[in-house]
Structure 1
């Protein structure tokens, strides 16, 4: 699965850099606005890890808010695309989130992971590592496929089973099969709260602008939740507690 995800996103790197930001309503008017709203209000001078940085859109937004950004991605081509976007303004590394992260304990104030974790079958290793490198009181914010969406779209027979699914994506200049894991809501929450304190569970709604751009998708998202956002905090105690 690691090699599959790496190979798929190597092929998608050009699309993500040149087309996804403006041409994908699901990004521009749905997931990204909700994630940005959920971020801590003050990022000036904060150290932020963009875990699964893709072509660097989130890294660029975090930099704009004054953060010191490090991005990691399993795809070397995505890392190259992120570097083309931001140059030396951020640090980008090609690294597998299922392996030990090359950072010291308590290195980051915030960890952001957008639509990445559903490519990983087991969250134990990455969550242990995120917990290790996140400072006390730090924020862990991530988005994944909504379990209801995958369950209904793929007509799964067992909601409570973590399943390996494949679907075909039609992107600008490429049609490609992408595989990922669907897990039930209770697994998402329980695995998160094993390492972090749950702050907020967000089922994002599309912005009104999406109704103007792609009304069919807007109506669909208002009746069928597509993504799920989880905001959590490190369980480590602050020094004065």
Structure 2
């Protein structure tokens, strides 16, 4: 059974109160970078893996996507998404990301926001996304940065007064399970290196278009001065990749 912390009442209650859950995309520190990397969505068929409350699905339709499918394992997340959505061209499906099995070339754009670090095999997802994308289609996703995920503690080192000294990096090359605390205890994430993310994409048949390690926007830093420490280590990794055209795949 795939991990489904979001249907745990205690976890979901805490998640509902996060700024990005209440205010949406504009409260997400990485959104301004992810948005800038979005391809033109007009008349595109879009798939959102780990759609959560459906913020990115609704954004895609605002950008005139022809259809949007949101996939999530959590019934509580999907209930929220459906409650916030009044659009017959957006459909939501309850299933693990690992189990997607869409016909070849079903989508023009596949997006995923902060979900794929919960997936054991990124290589397998790359293969599935590659298959369901049309040639020239775009795969755009964000994950927790490997510098952030390498240690299970996922926290700063502090001095005796509680000041943040530095962000510890250790066991970076030891890919695999990390049992950590995010909102509640016993949350399973999967650590992998930046090179694994990139090489798995290349081996699946993608061309890397952009790699970003975003900082919060100037507006967000001004409104939340406590976020200045985000400049001391990357928290997010965003990658944009394109499915190679057929004639280039065999060249």
Relative to the length of structure 2, the TM-score reads: 0.82
What SS does structure 2 have at the residue aligned with 1:30?
A: coil
* Superposition deviation, residue 113 in structure 1: 0.6
Deviations 1:122-177 (A, max 9, x none): 1232211101110000000011111112236465642112132233234xxxx454
Matches for 1:39-188 after TM superposition, within 5 Å: 39-40=38-39, 42-67=40-65, 68-89=67-88, 90-101=90-101, 103-151=102-150, 153=154, 157-170=170-183, 175-188=184-197
* Superposition deviation, residue 86 in structure 1: 0.6
> Rg bigger for which structure?
2
Aligned residues of 2:123 and 2:201 also touching (Cα < 8 A) = no
Aligned residues of 2:214 and 2:234 also touching (Cα < 8 A) = yes
Aligned residues of 2:44 and 2:108 also touching (Cα < 8 A) = yes
Give the distance between the partners of 1:125 and 1:151, measured in 2 at CA: 21
Against the structure 1 CA distance between its residues 20 and 176, is the aligned structure 2 distance closer, same or farther, given a 3 Å change threshold? farther
* Greater Cα offset, 10-19 or 119-128: 10-19
What are the ranges of 5 or more consecutive residues in structure 1 without an aligned counterpart? Answer: none
Deviations 1:155-211 (A, max 9, x none): 5642112132233234xxxx4542201111111111111121111101112111222
Aligned residues of 1:136 and 1:238 also touching (Cα < 8 A) = no
Instruction: Establish whether residue 228 from structure 1 lines up as the match of residue 237 from structure 2.
Output: yes
Give the distance between the partners of 2:53 and 2:85, measured in 1 at CA: 10
What SS does structure 1 have at the residue aligned with 2:53?
A: coil
Aligned CA RMSD, in angstroms, stands at 2.6
Matches for 1:13-32 after TM superposition, within 5 Å: 13=12, 19-21=18-20, 28-32=27-31
Give the distance between the partners of 1:183 and 1:167, measured in 2 at CA: 15
Report which structure shows greater RCO (CA 8 Å, sep ≥6): 1
What are the ranges of 5 or more consecutive residues in structure 2 without an aligned counterpart? Answer: 156-167
The match for 1:193 is 202
